[in-house]
Amino acid sequence: MCNLESYPPVFRHLTGSPPPFQLTATTTTTTTIEDSSSSSSSSSSSSSSSSSSSSSSSSVPIPVVDLQSLSLEKLGEACKEWGVFRLLNHGIPPRLLNKVEEHVKVLFSLSFESKQALLTNPLSYFWGTPVLTPSGDALRGALSFNWLEGINVPLTQLPHFQSQQDPRLEDFRHFVEEYGRHLSRIATSLFEAMVKNLKLCPKQSESSLDESTGFIRLYRYPPRSLVDEACGMVEHTDSSLLSIVNQDQVGGLEIFKDNKWLLVNPISDTLLVHVGDMMQAISDDRYMSVKHRVRVKQQEERLSICYFVFPAKGCVVRSSTYKPFTYTEFQQQVQNDTKTLGYKLGLQRFKLNAPA
Ligand SMILES: O=C(O)CCC(=O)C(=O)O
Ligand SMILES: [Fe+2]
C-alpha cells in the first residue's frame, strides 16, 4: 500500500533534487489488447508487473473503445463500470508521439538547476508533491508524498512562450502544441458522445467541455530503491472532466475496482482515458471518476504524458445529485481541504443533503 505513515518526514516536501535521469531501455511488453467483456480473468502477458512491493494488484484487461468506430454502448459501459478505458485508433500520428516522447526525455535529462531555470512561465517545473494550483504551482500543505518530477504545460499559453533563446524548447513547443490539438479533438469527440449517451438535458450539458482549459503534465517517476516506498503518485481521482494518459512501456499505473488495485498494462499505440470528477457530477453519478495511483519500480524509471480538460471556469455544473457549483469553487474547496485536512474530499463536499 501507499502507506503515508511509513514515509520519513524528509519526503514531506521533496527537498534536494531528483535522482538523475537514467535513459535506461524501457521494458518491452508483449501485451495484446483484450476486451474486458471477453475475459474475466487476469491478463498475464505483461512482463512489467507492479513494482516489487507488497502490493496485491493484479493486471486485467480493461475496456477498449475504438475512436474510429465509436460504439456509444461500449463507451457508456466502460464509463459506468470502470471509469477508465483504453482508446484505440485515436488518430495521433506515431511520428508525433515519438517526437514528443523524445523531447520529454531530453528535458528531464537536463540538470535539476537547468530544469528550474528553463521551464518557467508559462511552463512550470516541480519535484515532489504535485498537488497543484490551477497555475501549476505546487500546493504546500498537501499530504501527497509523490515521488516524481513534472512539467506543467498550459496549452493555450504556449503561443506566448518565449522559447526562442533555446532551440530545445522551440522544438518542444512546436510538437507539444500539435499534440495538444489532437488531445483537444479526442476529448471533444468523446465528451460529445458521452453527452449523447447520457441523454443529458441542456442544463447539465451546459457545463460542457472547454478546450481552452486543457493542459498537459509531463511526469518522470525515478526508480526507488526501497521496497516499501514504491508509491509514485498517491491514490486520487482526477478533478477534470476527462483525462487522457499516455504511459510508456514501463507501467505502474493502477486503478481501484471492486476493492482491488488492478495494474493497467502499457500497450503501445493506445491511450488511457479516465472519467474525472466533473464528468461524474454532470452524469449524476452514472459515470464514475476512477480512483488510481502510480507505483514506481526499483530499477526502471517511468515517463507519462497526461492531458486534463475541464468545464469553462464560470460555468455552473448542475445535476440532481450535487449542489450547483463552478469548477473554480470545486478547485478552491479541494485546495482548502488539502491544506486543512491533508487530502482531497472532492465531490463528497458538494453532495446534496451532505452533513455540513
Ligand atoms: O502518470 C500517470 O500515469 C498518471 C498521473 C495522474 O494520475 C495524474 O496526474 O493525475
Ligand atoms: Fe490522476
Whether pLDDT at 81 is above 90: yes
When the pLDDT of each residue in the chain is averaged and rounded to a whole number, the result is 82
The pLDDT of residue 340? 85
Residue with cell 449524476: 284
Q: Which residues surround ligand 2, an ion (CB under 5 A)?
A: 238
Using the mean position of ligand 1's atoms as its centre, give its distance from the Cα of residue 306 in Å. 6
Top-confidence residue, 240 or 354 = 240
Output the nine-digit C-alpha cell for 316: 455552473
**Mean pLDDT throughout 66-80?**
97
**Mean pLDDT throughout 285-299?**
93
The pLDDT of residue 168? 75
* Model confidence, pTM: 0.85
The pLDDT of residue 1? 38
By DSSP bridging, strand 84-88 and strand 124-127 are unpaired
Whether pLDDT at 267 is above 60: yes
Which of 271, 236, 283, 245 shows the shortest CA–CA distance to 79? 283
Whether pLDDT at 317 is above 80: yes
**Max mean pLDDT range (79-88, 102-111, 141-150):** 79-88
Using the mean position of ligand 2's atoms as its centre, give its distance from the Cα of residue 164 in Å. 32
**3-state DSSP: the chain helix, strand, coil percent, rounded to 5?**
30, 25, 45
Whether pLDDT at 7 is above 60: no
**Mean pLDDT throughout 22-46?**
45
Using the mean position of ligand 2's atoms as its centre, give its distance from the Cα of residue 242 in Å. 10
Model confidence at 84, pLDDT cuts 50, 70, 90, reads: very high
Model confidence at 290, pLDDT cuts 50, 70, 90, reads: very high
Model confidence at 208, pLDDT cuts 50, 70, 90, reads: confident
In residues, how long is the chain?
Answer: 356
Whether pLDDT at 47 is above 50: no
Whether pLDDT at 25 is above 50: no
Whether pLDDT at 44 is above 60: no
Ligand 1 residue neighbourhood (C-beta within 6 Å): 217, 219, 233, 238, 245, 247, 253, 292, 294, 304, 306
Using the mean position of ligand 2's atoms as its centre, give its distance from the Cα of residue 237 in Å. 6
The closest ligand to the CA of 217 turns out to be 1
**243 CA closest ligand 1 atom index:** 10
